[in-house]
Amino acid sequence: MAGEGELNIPGENKREKPGNGTPGNHERSKGRVAEDCIFCQIAAGKIPSEVVYQDDRVVAFKDIRPVAPVHILIIPRKHIPDLTAITPEDGDLIGYIHLVAVKLAREFGLADRGFRVVNNCKEEGGQAVYHLHFHLLGGRQLQILG
């Protein structure tokens, strides 16, 4: 798999014990590997996916229902339900995810042409899986937002 472990930034990624990652249980599941979370299962290698990058902090894999020619999901290994659940300690991790997005945009030939990094937060924001994730989209002209 391309890029395994090539982008390490100083900082510690603490993993905690299993917990429930359902939308109604955000606070209790923060920071845990949720046994019922599909993205936690993918990060643990228990559910197959087309991984394009992974290291000790994040996993990036191709979306099974792409909305663009390049559609990659970038997730932290640490279970965080959504963007509202991040803490100041997660700031480095959020920045790191964006560095991984840029690395992958370069590898997939998007960096010079343009790409989008998107996070959907909660139900009205379009979030379908309650494990923080960012979509890297590109490979064609994307609609202008707003």
Query: How many CB atoms sit inside 10 A of residue 76's CB?
Result: 24
Q: Which of 79, 131, 133, 135 is catalytic?
A: 133
SS3 helix, strand, coil % of the chain, rounded to 5? 25, 20, 50
pLDDT band at residue 19 using 50, 70 and 90 as cut-offs: very low
133 belongs to the catalytic site: yes
Q: Is the pLDDT of residue 3 over 90?
A: no
For range 12-21, the mean pLDDT? 33
- What residue segments make up the domains of the chain, in order of their start? 16-138
108: which residues sit within 8 A by CB, 6+ positions away? 70, 72, 138, 139
Q: How far apart are CA 35 and CA 80, in angstroms?
A: 13
Residue in this structure with the two tokens 């359902």, named with its chain if needed: 22
For 16-138, which CATH superfamily applies?
A: HIT-like (3.30.428.10)
pLDDT tens digits, 71-108: 999 999 999 999 999 999 999 999 999 999 999 999 99
Residue 103 pLDDT: 99
* Position with higher pLDDT, 116 vs 24: 116
